[in-house]
Amino acid sequence: MNPPRFQFEVCANGVESCLAAQAGGADRVELCAGIPEGGTTPSFGDIATARSLLDRTRLHVIIRPRGGDFRYSPLEERIMLEDIANARRLGADGVVLGCLTADGTVDLPLMGRLMKAAQGMSVTFHRAFDVCRDPFRALEDIIGLGCHRILTSGQQPTAEAGIPLLRELQKAAAGRITLLAGCGVNVGNIARIARETGITEFHFSARETVESDMAWHNDAVSMGGTVRIEEYTRPVTTERRVRDTIAAAHKG
């Protein structure tokens, strides 16, 4: 029996992370801003620079105008359509998006309009799937829309915890759409997730914390106001962690 053909996607929080992902052997990156919010649309400059520097790794761009829920207004739809057009103009290979109705089902009319705008590009339905009401109904709806894959943790905080549902979704998909297991995927669990679900595409960040080279710190001021965040460290994908995670999947 031939070994499974894995595909690896790195969730990249900037161009630096995109380049580390490529150096580490990733097949594609999902370029995002706003990682603490679950990912929002990156800047024009980020997309353009990533596209100019990535020559072996495919570039997918998240289309998400804000954090929070996945119920979007007509104004937000307009923004998303513009962002899809920008991603296309800048040469992105794909987009990553997802929209729900107020009652937790896939917003088929809005998704249909976004799919039309993204025609010819690869489309991933993102982890809005993980907060939908009925994952099996959503699976069928997303297949019907023509999306190429679904990024999911099996409706659990991590993909490892979501293994039971991921296994059932993989069976239900029956080769009609690709499931992309993501959230908390790392060197210590990727082989187990692959083995127990049959999924062959994985989404992970492979980040390490980098200390700021600022000599002067003013710890009395937070750019988040009353929300305290780390101002003098930042998480960045590293080539080493990407390579190690990919190697762990292949070792099984």
Beta strands in the chain (DSSP E): 7-12, 28-31, 58-62, 94-97, 122-125, 149-152, 178-182, 201-204, 207-211, 233-237
pLDDT tens, 162-219? 999 999 999 999 999 999 999 999 999 999 999 999 999 999 999 999 999 988 888 8
Residue 1 has pLDDT above 70, yes or no: no
CA angle, corner 30, sides to 24 and 36, nearest 5? 105
Please give the pLDDT value at position 4.
Answer: 74
CB neighbourhood size of 99 (10 A): 24
Please give the pLDDT value at position 220.
Answer: 82
pLDDT tens, 128-168? 999 999 999 999 999 999 999 999 999 999 999 999 999 99
Please give the pLDDT value at position 166.
Answer: 98
CA distance 53 to 81: 25
Give yes or no for a contact between 123 and 147, defined as CB atoms under 8 angstroms apart: yes
- Which amino acid appears at position 178 of this protein? T
Residue 241 has pLDDT above 80, yes or no: yes
The string of DSSP codes covering 111-159 is HHHHHHHTTTSEEEE-GGGGGSS-HHHHHHHHHHHT-SEEEE-SSSSST
| Residue 155: φ, ψ to 5° | 60, 30
Please give the pLDDT value at position 110.
Answer: 98
Mean pLDDT within 22-49: 96
Residue 73 has pLDDT above 60, yes or no: yes
Please give the pLDDT value at position 204.
Answer: 98
Q: Quote the crossing angle between the two packed helices 44-53 and 15-24, to the nearest 10°.
A: 30
Beta strands in 5-148 (DSSP E): 7-12, 28-31, 58-62, 94-97, 122-125
Give yes or no for a contact between 199 and 193, defined as CB atoms under 8 angstroms apart: yes
Please give the pLDDT value at position 60.
Answer: 98
Q: Which residue has the tokens 């570039």?
A: 59
* Superfamily for domain range 7-251: Copper homeostasis (CutC) domain (3.20.20.380)
pLDDT tens, 86-143? 999 999 999 999 999 999 999 999 999 999 999 999 999 999 999 999 999 999 999 9
Domain ranges of the chain: 7-251
Please give the pLDDT value at position 227.
Answer: 67
Per-residue confidence band for 229, with pLDDT thresholds at 50, 70 and 90: confident
Helices and strands of the chain, counted as H and E runs: 8, 10
Please give the pLDDT value at position 217.
Answer: 87
Q: Which residues of 52-81 are buried (b: 16+ CB within 10 A; e: fewer)?
A: eebeebbbbbbbbbeeeebebeeeebebbb
Per-residue confidence band for 222, with pLDDT thresholds at 50, 70 and 90: confident
Residue 69 has pLDDT above 80, yes or no: yes
